[in-house]
Chain A
Amino acid sequence: MDKHTLDVLDSSKGHGTKQRNKIDQAIVEIVSDSGEGAQKCGQSLGQISAKMGNGVWTVEIIPAEIQPPARSREGASGIRVRFGAKKITNMGDHAGLVVALNEQVLYGRLRQNAYKEGTVLLIENKWATDENPEIRRQYAEALTEFRSEGFDVREIPMETECLKLVMDARKGKNMWVLGLLCYIYDRDMELAEKQIHLTFRKKSQLVIDVNINLLRAGYQWAEDHLDVHYEIPPMKVTDDQVVMNGNEALSLGIMAAGIELCSMYPITPATSASHHLAEHFEKVGGVVHQAEDEIAAIGFAVGASYAGKTAVTITSGPGIALKTEFIGLAVMAEVPLVIIDVQRGGPSTGLPTKVEQSDLTAAIMGQTGDVPKIVIAAATIEECFHFVILARKLAEAFRTPVFLLSDANLATGVQPFKRPQINRDWFSLPIDQSAWKEGIRAFDWSPETGISKRPIPGQRGGMYTLTGLAHDENSKVAYDPEINQRSSEARSRKFAAFQKTLKPPTIHGDPEGDLLIVGWGSTLGAIDEGVEMARDQGLKVSSIHLRFLFPFEPGLADLFARFKKVMTIEINYSDTLGDPMITPENRRYSQLAWQLRARTLVDIECAGNVYGQPLGPGQVLEIIKKQLA
């Protein structure tokens, strides 16, 4: 896939010519120390490309610290931008071209297998003449090493060129680099200048002018000095499109659902959704409450929801751990609530800025006692928007907490999608304050569906005391041994009733074959693309992607029966058979695999890892090949 890119980037072919090579996609990285604006540069490149009609996926490379020591190998901060002539659904495998503001940060990315032989490395050359001899030595050593490993290393005088325009090159170098990339990939400079206006709209005209000059200078320098120049044709998009990251989509989804309250506590990588909400929520009649802790955040949301106000709480793994008791209460007392978990690496504090799909079991089963509830997972950025609306409706219809799982990959990934056409039915209705119908009890569980309607404070005649204790239909504390059994049946039956409304998942590929890959969450794009690659090689593989994790979509066992093998690919931990001590009897499976095995009685295989990296299509292809070997 990026083979094509690499062929053209081969320096032996292009030297001295100014021809534009048509390619169908590119993977570009900009890496630097924190605070050098690499992400702003990459986001701008992504926005410009999206506006030009290219498919785009961007993903941030974030160190755990705000300001790690300069030039540290682990401190790589930056961004990957993948754009192409077709829809792009994931970050891809190896970058074809990298701009590095120092050579040390490249080591961290190399260790993560982000590049391969032939990748073009455009490296800031100011370190070659640094006054510190140790830095000069490091620079020379790194370049020798990179060249010996087959990278196409180019030294670029970024600092020198920027200093012609600004006093402090640290501020502004990113826009010079953007200009450089705009030349290399033949980006529309008018759009690029508009993008700078947008990025710096809160700054003075002087700042905008300086950055536009840097952009133009970068472009000019590249035109004068570089032999790499590509054209990536646009897609034929007829729909109106919007472009945003997954957390922005969650935030807009919260607004579109008519939710009135987001009660949260800061935690990476969920918080940026609340930042977005805090800026805009007021305009649609909502308020963000920053609680004193994670427990209070959900307690506040539960209180608001009990009082009839639609509420969401948004967090990540450690926050879910703290919210556990309240989630149990919301299940027990049937309080509608949307709980968004933007998953990160775990357990415990884990890998705060990295992606993992490790909270599935916690979402489904993580509280004490019997705690059925709905668990859904967004697979795309577009779904981050629409699934909040879905979650809010399900929460109210089934009088239940609903987990919506996202992850760090979706949170910071940016992708264009069809502009949502706002529908009035998405918004929650004003609370019902009419008198409560006489004779209806606070938990009047339907014997068929387990569903009951709840009274809202203010409704005359509906008075009841919600309790986390076992309770009867009147919400009276249960002293009768029958009641707990009966109420548990009702709370469970609701989800069987809900499951009856779901359709079986659609199969990507043939409906039968040698191998079926099952995925969930943010890995959709990578799995689909990996499966396509395998099918192109003649392998009989298909995939399905689950959105409903509890209850499952129906018909899974029947679907699985049409394949010789079924396996999940997940970004969470699983033991590998053949490793020391690991036997079929004691092997621990990836989380979806574990659920599927238990709930379908099919012998499901799995591939899971916890490197903290988004899944790449090449990885999927390797897994498929290994499985079918």
Chain B
Amino acid sequence: MFGLKADACSIPMPEVYYGLDDYAKSTARWCPGCGGHSILAAVHKVCKDKQYPPEKTVCVSGIGCSSRFPHYMGTYGFHGLHGRAFPVACGVKFRRPDLHLFVITGDGDCCSIGAGHWVHAIRYNMKMVVLLFDNGIYGLTKKQTSPTSALGTHSNTHPHGSVVPPINPLQTTLGFSNVSFVAQTTDWHPAHLQATIWKAADHPGLAFVRIVQRCPMFMKDLYGDMSADPNSLILLNHEKGIDLDPAIAKSFKRNLDHDPSDLGAAREVAEIHDGIPVGLLYQNTENMRYDDYGAHNLGMSIDDKSKALDALLDRYAI
């Protein structure tokens, strides 16, 4: 009719459409007010908007409050060992380029017991989104000093105040070889949090996102006031940066122009202490990816394998 083909007006619809419910599973058992809840909601939203098939999505975590995360996802999950999310995630990804990977780790998990793997995961630069839930305290074991606790933090292991200066996870990550994506956001700005995870999910390599997270149970004072103060966040502006709705961008009181292709400038941003810079500190899409190497000879047939093995055995024949 009217020279149009029958389906010319219809909107192409995927065979399966995933709703938010498809990414959710069981009720999150974090404390009320914990930053984890909003991060979980943001990941659900990004997965849904990207229509990642839940069966093709894997969330890998270590141990700690944050690492319960995979249990609350309707995807595949791996809740492993303290500090060892990175090696597991890298192993999952190495020969499975088809899977979408999220790594969920905390400040103790990533920056203390698993710090050795952190260095190398950044160097391997395999495609995955790494979410560092950084609340500056050990929560699950009930308030011990973490490697990111500010100097002088009172905790059960340092009742008179912590005595060693903290690790700066941004600066540290920016210092690792082959680093390709470093961003920072907070749990209390859902729009920015989502936009950051979206950008991270698009990155061809390992996207490291430090999420400044509140712990109302053990570190009420750390970000409690900041989260209520619009002056505490400094939005990093750039056309290559996080793609934020202009109306929302306008709501930030403090802004800083920052080119995320400039590693030196990113290191200066990482040292800002009179506020929390949020946005993309650094991105390089050209870096070598170890998962490309890992997947280079996938899918060889058993016939080809046995032929190659037979030829190899010839070398040992007598």
Q: Report the minimum CB–CB distance from A559 to chain B (whole Å).
A: 36
A308 contact set on B, CB distance < 8 A: 96
Q: Report the minimum CB–CB distance from A483 to chain B (whole Å).
A: 15
> Within the assembled complex, what's the spacing in Å between the Cα atoms of A326 and B84?
9
Judged by a CB distance under 8 angstroms, whether A416 is at the interface is yes
Q: A303-B78, A309-B96, A463-B75 are in contact. Are A256 and B309 (CB under 8 A)?
A: yes
Q: Of the candidates B26, B79, B302, which one forms a contact with A427 in the assembled complex, judged by CB atoms under 8 Å apart?
A: B302
Within 8 A of A (CB), among B77-103: 77-81, 84, 86-96, 98-99
Minimal Cβ-Cβ distance residue in A for B294? A287
Check if A303 sits within 8 Å of B87, measured CB to CB.
Answer: yes
> Within the assembled complex, what's the spacing in Å between the Cα atoms of A294 and B59?
23
With a 10 A CB-CB cut-off, give which of A280, A308, A416, A458 has the most chain B CB atoms: A458
Judged by a CB distance under 8 angstroms, whether B10 is at the interface is no
Q: Of the candidates B75, B78, B92, B306, which one forms a contact with A422 in the assembled complex, judged by CB atoms under 8 Å apart?
A: B306
B308 contact set on A, CB distance < 8 A: 283-284
Q: Report the minimum CB–CB distance from B86 to chain A (whole Å).
A: 8
> Within the assembled complex, what's the spacing in Å between the Cα atoms of A420 and B312?
12
Judged by a CB distance under 8 angstroms, whether B316 is at the interface is yes
Check if A241 sits within 8 Å of B317, measured CB to CB.
Answer: yes
Check if A255 sits within 8 Å of B312, measured CB to CB.
Answer: yes
Q: Report the minimum CB–CB distance from A58 to chain B (whole Å).
A: 14
Check if A299 sits within 8 Å of B56, measured CB to CB.
Answer: no
Judged by a CB distance under 8 angstroms, whether A140 is at the interface is no
Q: Of the candidates B59, B88, B93, which one forms a contact with A299 in the assembled complex, judged by CB atoms under 8 Å apart?
A: B88
> Within the assembled complex, what's the spacing in Å between the Cα atoms of A532 and B298?
50
Per-residue CB proximity of A236-273 to B under 8 Å, as 1/0?
A: 00001111100010001001101011010000000000
The segment from B112-120, B153-161, B165-173, B185-193 found at the interface with A is: B112-120
Judged by a CB distance under 8 angstroms, whether A626 is at the interface is no
> Within the assembled complex, what's the spacing in Å between the Cα atoms of A300 and B92?
7
Minimal Cβ-Cβ distance residue in A for B68? A477
Q: A240-B317, A301-B91 are in contact. Are A285 and B305 (CB under 8 A)?
A: yes
Q: Report the minimum CB–CB distance from A522 to chain B (whole Å).
A: 20
Check if B316 sits within 8 Å of A242, measured CB to CB.
Answer: yes
Check if B318 sits within 8 Å of A457, measured CB to CB.
Answer: no
A424 contact set on B, CB distance < 8 A: 302-303, 306
Check if B91 sits within 8 Å of A285, measured CB to CB.
Answer: no
Q: A240-B317, A255-B312, A284-B300 are in contact. Are A329 and B80 (CB under 8 A)?
A: yes
Judged by a CB distance under 8 angstroms, whether A445 is at the interface is no
Q: Report the minimum CB–CB distance from A13 to chain B (whole Å).
A: 34
Check if B317 sits within 8 Å of A457, measured CB to CB.
Answer: no
Interface residues on B, range: 35 or more
Check if B96 sits within 8 Å of A457, measured CB to CB.
Answer: yes
> Within the assembled complex, what's the spacing in Å between the Cα atoms of A430 and B116?
33
Judged by a CB distance under 8 angstroms, whether A282 is at the interface is yes
Q: Report the minimum CB–CB distance from B20 to chain A (whole Å).
A: 15
> Within the assembled complex, what's the spacing in Å between the Cα atoms of A243 and B312?
12
B119 contact set on A, CB distance < 8 A: 292
Q: Report the minimum CB–CB distance from B76 to chain A (whole Å).
A: 4
Q: A50-B318, A427-B302, A457-B58 are in contact. Are A285 and B297 (CB under 8 A)?
A: yes
Judged by a CB distance under 8 angstroms, whether A289 is at the interface is yes
Check if B94 sits within 8 Å of A287, measured CB to CB.
Answer: yes
Query: Interface residues of A: mostly helix, strand, loop or mixed?
Result: mixed
Judged by a CB distance under 8 angstroms, whether A51 is at the interface is yes
Q: Report the minimum CB–CB distance from A11 to chain B (whole Å).
A: 34
Check if A248 sits within 8 Å of B316, measured CB to CB.
Answer: yes
> Within the assembled complex, what's the spacing in Å between the Cα atoms of A528 and B79?
48
Judged by a CB distance under 8 angstroms, whether A306 is at the interface is yes
Judged by a CB distance under 8 angstroms, whether B74 is at the interface is yes
Check if B317 sits within 8 Å of A419, measured CB to CB.
Answer: yes
Q: Of the candidates B73, B81, B312, which one forms a contact with A252 in the assembled complex, judged by CB atoms under 8 Å apart?
A: B312
Check if B309 sits within 8 Å of A255, measured CB to CB.
Answer: yes
Per-residue CB proximity of B205-242 to A under 8 Å, as 1/0?
A: 00000000000000000000000000000000000000
B303 contact set on A, CB distance < 8 A: 424
Check if A461 sits within 8 Å of B55, measured CB to CB.
Answer: yes
Per-residue CB proximity of A462-495 to B under 8 Å, as 1/0?
A: 1111111100000011000000000000000000
Q: Of the candidates A303, A304, A467, which one forms a contact with B71 in the assembled complex, judged by CB atoms under 8 Å apart?
A: A467
Q: A302-B88, A303-B78 are in contact. Are A242 and B318 (CB under 8 A)?
A: yes
With a 10 A CB-CB cut-off, give which of A241, A285, A291, A427 has the most chain B CB atoms: A285
Q: A292-B116, A468-B80 are in contact. Are A419 and B53 (CB under 8 A)?
A: no
Q: A296-B116, A296-B117, A300-B91 are in contact. Are A463 and B55 (CB under 8 A)?
A: yes
Minimal Cβ-Cβ distance residue in A for B317? A242
With a 10 A CB-CB cut-off, give which of B81, B89, B99 has the most chain A CB atoms: B81
B316 contact set on A, CB distance < 8 A: 242-244, 248, 252, 419
Check if B302 sits within 8 Å of A466, measured CB to CB.
Answer: no
Check if B70 sits within 8 Å of A465, measured CB to CB.
Answer: yes
B90 contact set on A, CB distance < 8 A: 300, 303
> Within the assembled complex, what's the spacing in Å between the Cα atoms of A99 and B311?
36
Check if A289 sits within 8 Å of B81, measured CB to CB.
Answer: no
Q: Report the minimum CB–CB distance from A237 to chain B (whole Å).
A: 9
Judged by a CB distance under 8 angstroms, whether A460 is at the interface is yes
With a 10 A CB-CB cut-off, give which of B91, B96, B300 has the most chain A CB atoms: B91
Check if B302 sits within 8 Å of A299, measured CB to CB.
Answer: no
B78 contact set on A, CB distance < 8 A: 303, 306, 465-466
Q: Of the candidates A255, A329, A419, A457, which one forms a contact with B99 in the assembled complex, judged by CB atoms under 8 Å apart?
A: A457
> Within the assembled complex, what's the spacing in Å between the Cα atoms of A580 and B311?
58
Check if B80 sits within 8 Å of A285, measured CB to CB.
Answer: no
> Within the assembled complex, what's the spacing in Å between the Cα atoms of A296 and B89?
11
A298 contact set on B, CB distance < 8 A: 87
Check if B313 sits within 8 Å of A252, measured CB to CB.
Answer: yes
Q: Report the minimum CB–CB distance from A407 to chain B (whole Å).
A: 21
> Within the assembled complex, what's the spacing in Å between the Cα atoms of A297 and B94?
13
With a 10 A CB-CB cut-off, give which of A241, A299, A419 has the most chain B CB atoms: A299
Check if A463 sits within 8 Å of B54, measured CB to CB.
Answer: yes
Minimal Cβ-Cβ distance residue in B for A425? B302
Check if A300 sits within 8 Å of B116, measured CB to CB.
Answer: no
Within 8 A of A (CB), among B263-318: 293-294, 296-300, 302-306, 308-313, 316-318
Judged by a CB distance under 8 angstroms, whether A361 is at the interface is no
Minimal Cβ-Cβ distance residue in A for B76? A457
A446 contact set on B, CB distance < 8 A: none
A285 contact set on B, CB distance < 8 A: 297-300, 304-305
Check if A292 sits within 8 Å of B117, measured CB to CB.
Answer: yes
Judged by a CB distance under 8 angstroms, whether B60 is at the interface is yes
User: What are 20 A-B contacts with C-beta separation under 8 Å?
Assistant: A240-B317, A252-B313, A255-B309, A280-B312, A291-B87, A292-B119, A296-B116, A300-B87, A300-B90, A302-B91, A304-B94, A307-B58, A307-B99, A309-B95, A419-B317, A457-B58, A460-B53, A465-B71, A465-B77, A477-B71
In the complex, besides A258-B305, A309-B94, A311-B91, 16 extra interface pairs with C-beta distance below 8 angstroms are A252-B316, A283-B308, A284-B309, A285-B304, A292-B116, A299-B88, A306-B92, A326-B84, A427-B306, A458-B96, A458-B98, A458-B99, A460-B53, A465-B71, A465-B73, A477-B71
